Amino acid sequence: MMDCGFNDYPEPEVPRSCRSARGRGPITKRWEGNRKHSCEILASVAGNLLEKGDNSLHTDASCGKNLHDACDSVISKKEVDEGQFLNEELLELGSSLEKAFGCNPGFQSFCNPDKFNSEINPMSKDFRRSGLLNSNKKKAFDDSNFVPDVIGGKVLGVPERKVEAEPTELRNQSVKDKTMTVTCGLEDLMKLEGKQPELVGPGCNVHTASVRVVSRDDDESSFGSAYPSTMVKALGPPLGTGNKRIKKISDSSHWRVAPDVDGNYSSTDGKVKEVCCEERIGYTQENTQKIYPFKKRKFFNQDFSTSNRGSNRDGTFDSSDKRINGKQGTAAIGGSSSMTGQHVFPNSKECNVKLSIKSFKVPELLIDIPTTETVGSLKRMVMDAVTSILGEGLHVGILVQGKKVKDDNKTLVQTGISQYNKHSNLGFILEPEHSQTATSPFTKNESLLSRIKSQALTRHSVSLSGSVESDFNATPALGDNLSNNTNNESKALIPVPRISMEALAVVPFHRKSGHHEYLKRRIRRPFSVSEVEALVRAVEKLGTGRWRDVKFHAFDNAKHRTYVDLKDKWKTLVHTARISPQQRRGEPVPQGLLDRVLAAQATGHIGSRNKRPK
DNA sequence: CTTAGGG
DNA sequence: CCCTAAG
């Protein structure tokens, strides 16, 4: 995978759409080409345009739309597969294109509409009419002067420096330079400091100008959007398409405060921040401001973030993983240098430090809630609390050997963050803006204060602290610090603030066995008969094709049923109704319902027709 | 964002 | 359920 590049890809396949699907004949209605194909096409287009220096391109949103969408959506893709890599390259191209043509966002502006539609864009009618879609794609490209170099999977048209040089350089650099993996544990910090822990978290680089942040989207398991957004702010808005990507990354993650496998209330399993300090990014001679997040992920996540436990080729992650888990709360900091074998001179400009901070834990979050409250309000409560912890403005502290580094101008080497110090302890903390004062951000939050109490729980309340406290036992340093801070005024009247000051230890997250870290699939929730009944009734009323309405009418409060789900269910219902009862599986649907399904299906869009006649 | 369809 | 082209 490390050697992946355009050159390494085999000859493009004929898109699926060009073949027959399941022997039912060619699909002409839609272009079903895969992303790989998209990428090759785009790469070809880009290569040609870049080569020609043609920046007098027509802007045609329609022809670029889907490629743009595709590129954009790739960012949220988790799979590290061929397709993704291609798409990363694709995005890389986008970056080059933006610089070359100043067009932005995405790829909406670099297509020559005529050429694109007739020769390149398989989605266009012109293209289909041209017959190229149904012929061998290689030949199509062969015959097209516009796209000469995709053959053999090699895109020569794209200037090498744009596509290949940069990843190559990055890769080489990663390999030959000293790298260090640092993970942080609250316990370390506390042991080192012997004082009250503070918010520990990512963001170690926000004060450093030359570093870049990688934020991987890990869905609901993410520790929270607060971090990505913090990062974004710290780095400034990315250019062009990056904006949207970052937004997506931020949007897609949210808090989850739920017991993990150990029963700890934590927001673990998933969030990985990788921070890379890179002095020289050999991208192009042009000033390259932008490195897409995916890129970092691509080139670095093999070190520590790929989730396939034990499947890492280089074993880097595994070793660190064992170390982390084995020590249960001791220093999860260490050098990871299996990729490297050399020493780095402290003064060397080649020195890179690779930092990996995995997930966070809320050490104590006691909820005081009447038993009559709903689960939903409990969730909201926890959400509020956690969000508030991070929402009040944090800054980042760095601890080396237990000492807080205050001078932001020191270099990492001067500070002792280097390969030579890989056995030393390095910690990152997120602290409240006014951690010095007794007043905490929470004093502003009446509702929170009224709801969440730190220590003594009101009688009649439901304590959720059990698991949390047991968690404390696993992190004795925290407990010590709690008692050590008895005289801290924050304990006196408003215990809650201490949450903010203690909170959010960086902990090694416990990957759930067999659970892929990302690309999480929703749990399967078969429709019950009553749900089917509701669905059928709604469709009978509204007709097919109005799934959003169906959702509102019949499944408005079933948040786990999206209108797509309903549409899919209807699809399977229709199928079920058409097959013999012997072939049906799952909970049997009453034949009467199935009959109604068929009837409603036959009626089709009658509902829509009523709504919008003619 | 919704719809429609293939995977 | 997922993915995603199209609108």
pLDDT digits (tens, 9 = 90+) for A53-68: 433 232 222 334 344 4
- Provide the CB-side half-sphere exposure for A238 (13 A, CA): 26
Is A466 within a domain? no
Q: How confident is the model at residue A142 (pLDDT cuts 50, 70, 90)?
A: very low
Q: Which of A397, A432, A467 is the last residue of a domain?
A: A432
Is A199 within a domain? yes
Choice between A89 and A501, residue whose per-residue pLDDT is larger: A89
Q: How confident is the model at residue A351 (pLDDT cuts 50, 70, 90)?
A: low
Instruction: Give the Cα separation of A295 and A214 in Å (integer).
Output: 8
Per-residue pLDDT reduced to its tens digit, A329-343: 222 233 332 233 333
Instruction: Give the Cα separation of A110 and A61 in Å (integer).
Output: 10
Per-residue pLDDT reduced to its tens digit, A59-92: 222 334 344 443 343 333 322 223 333 344 445 5
Instruction: Give the Cα separation of A247 and A237 in Å (integer).
Output: 10
Q: What per-residue confidence (pLDDT) applies to A600? A: 92
Q: How confident is the model at residue A244 (pLDDT cuts 50, 70, 90)?
A: very low
| Residue nearest the C1' of C4 (CA based) | A70
Structural domain harbouring A594: 529-611
Q: Is A472 helix (H, G, I), strand (E, B) or coil?
A: helix
Outline where A357-488 has alpha helix (H): 375-391, 412-415, 446-451, 465-474, 476-484
Is A453 within a domain? no
Q: Which two tokens stand for residue A595?
A: 């009959």
Average pLDDT over residues A258-265: 31
Question: Is the confidence at residue A464, as pLDDT, over 50?
Answer: no
Point out which residues pair with A360 in neighbouring strands.
A267, A506
Same-domain pairing of A400 and A284: yes
Point out which residues pair with A395 in neighbouring strands.
A431
Average pLDDT over residues A515-543: 85
Strand order in the sheet with A403-405: A403-405, A394-400, A426-432
State how many domains chain A has.
Answer: 3
Per-residue pLDDT reduced to its tens digit, A252-261: 333 333 333 3
Same-domain pairing of A149 and A194: no
Point out which residues pair with A265 in neighbouring strands.
A259
Is A462 within a domain? no
Per-residue pLDDT reduced to its tens digit, A400-423: 666 677 777 777 767 776 654 444
Q: What's the whole-number average pLDDT of chain A?
A: 45
Is A316 within a domain? yes
Q: How confident is the model at residue A546 (pLDDT cuts 50, 70, 90)?
A: very high
Same-domain pairing of A428 and A544: no
Question: Is the confidence at residue A543, as pLDDT, over 80?
Answer: yes
Per-residue pLDDT reduced to its tens digit, A145-196: 323 222 222 222 232 223 322 332 223 322 222 222 222 232 222 222 333 3
Residue–nucleotide distance: A483 CA to B7 C1' (Å): 57
Q: How confident is the model at residue A523 (pLDDT cuts 50, 70, 90)?
A: very high
Residue–nucleotide distance: A31 CA to C7 C1' (Å): 15
Residue A269: CB less than 7 A from any atom in strand C: no
Q: Which of A399, A432, A465 is the last residue of a domain?
A: A432
Q: What is the CATH number of the domain that holds A595?
A: 1.10.246.220
Residue A548: C-alpha distances to residues A273, A354, A553 (Å):
37, 46, 9
- Decide if A377 contacts A371 (C-beta within 8 A): no
Same-domain pairing of A297 and A212: yes
Residue A348: C-alpha distances to residues A174, A225, A263, A408 (Å):
15, 36, 45, 20
Residue A528: CB less than 7 A from any atom in strand C: no
Residue–nucleotide distance: A550 CA to B2 C1' (Å): 12
Q: What per-residue confidence (pLDDT) applies to A567? A: 95
Instruction: Give the Cα separation of A161 and A167 in Å (integer).
Output: 9
Per-residue pLDDT reduced to its tens digit, A358-404: 554 444 667 777 787 777 778 777 776 666 656 656 666 676 666 67
Residue A516: CB less than 7 A from any atom in strand C: no
Is A510 within a domain? no
Same-domain pairing of A135 and A195: no
Same-domain pairing of A254 and A294: yes
Compute how many other C-beta atoms are within 10 angstroms of the C-beta atom of residue A73: 13
> Where on the phi/psi map is residue A328: left (φ > 0), alpha (ψ -120 to 50), or beta?
left
- Decide if A103 contacts A48 (C-beta within 8 A): no
Residue A29: CB less than 7 A from any atom in strand C: no
Average pLDDT over residues A479-508: 31
Compute how many other C-beta atoms are within 10 angstroms of the C-beta atom of residue A512: 15
Same-domain pairing of A257 and A373: yes
Instruction: Give the Cα separation of A246 and A242 in Å (integer).
Output: 6
Q: What per-residue confidence (pLDDT) applies to A490? A: 29
Percent of chain A past pLDDT 90, that is, above it, reads 11
Choice between A312 and A610, residue whose per-residue pLDDT is larger: A610
CA A306 from chain centre, in angstroms, equals: 12
CA angle centred on A33, ends A27 and A36, rounded to 5°: 160
Highest mean pLDDT among A291-295, A350-354, A506-510, A525-529: A525-529
Q: Which of A123, A158, A193 is the last residue of a domain?
A: A158
| Residue nearest the C1' of B2 (CA based) | A548
Residue–nucleotide distance: A446 CA to C5 C1' (Å): 48
Same-domain pairing of A377 and A426: yes
Which residues of A in 47-66 have their CB below 7 Å from strand C's atoms? 66
Question: Is the confidence at residue A143, as pLDDT, over 80?
Answer: no
Question: Is the confidence at residue A17, as pLDDT, over 90?
Answer: no
Same-domain pairing of A240 and A271: yes
Percent of chain A past pLDDT 70, that is, above it, reads 19
Residue–nucleotide distance: A376 CA to C1 C1' (Å): 25
Is A455 within a domain? no
Same-domain pairing of A51 and A151: yes
Is A409 within a domain? yes
Same-domain pairing of A134 and A176: no
